[in-house]
Amino acid sequence: MSTEAQKLLVFLHVAVKQRAFQGELQSALPGIDVTAVGRIGDFDRSLQDHPDAVLTLPLVLAARGIGATLHGRRQGAQDEVYALVGADSMPDPAKIQSVGALDLLGRDGTDSFVNRVLGARPKVERVTKVEDLLPLLQMQRVDAILLAARFVTELKKASRLSLFQRDLATKVELPAAATLSAGGPQILGALSRLPAQLSAAMGVDEWR
């Protein structure tokens, strides 16, 4: 009698393409069927397929009424610094009119998230990939972009713009996983043993 593979659903923005990220996770988690998506709409649709576990940001889990049971940490902390990045001058959260951000929760949810982290209410331009943030600045479609500070070094390498980074006081929790079925804990156990390089791509150096 064949048993169906346990399913892990992943919704995280990383610096590599989703297909490559999914492939790396699949290789590191043999026997687990991994689906990695880059859009909140795809995440919601895939939830309807009843995965056994999910891996995403805690704020996404909370918005769907799901409690996290395995938390990513970096240097002992469960959260990380976010930065506001502008071109040619230091961005001021109180003065910017528009900001680019990753679409974490759909329009209203992402707007609320950005307002909370910035302590201000600029117009939010949402994108679905980390690499789509920089063009917003290059084409002057926004005054600044908001993202995890760990991405900024690569951003500066990829751009000829003179980028200025302002780290923000409000931190955001690192990726976390939750179980949705009896098979979930087994997946979380495998996640906690991921290769260090793969965890680092998610901003994490240990899982607890």
> Which DSSP string do the residues of 133-177 spell out, in sequence order?
HHHHHHTTSSSEEEEEGGGHHHHHHH--S-EEEEE-SS-EEPPEE
Average pLDDT value for the chain = 96
Q: Can you tell me the mean pLDDT for 67-71?
A: 97
How many percent of the chain have pLDDT more than 70?
Answer: 99
- The amino acid sitting at 175 is P
Asked: is 82-170 a CATH 3.50.50.60 domain? The reply is no
pLDDT at 3 over 80: no
pLDDT the model gives residue 2: 41
Burial 125-158 (b: 16+ CB within 10 A, else e): bbbeebebbbebbeeeebbbbbbbbbbbeebeee
**Which CATH number is correct for 6-76+173-207, 3.30.420, 1.20.81, 3.30.70, 3.40.190?**
3.40.190
List, by residue range, all CATH 3.40.190.10 domains of the chain.
82-170
Task: With cut-offs at 50, 70 and 90, classify the pLDDT of residue 4.
Answer: confident
The pLDDT of residue 185 is above 60: yes
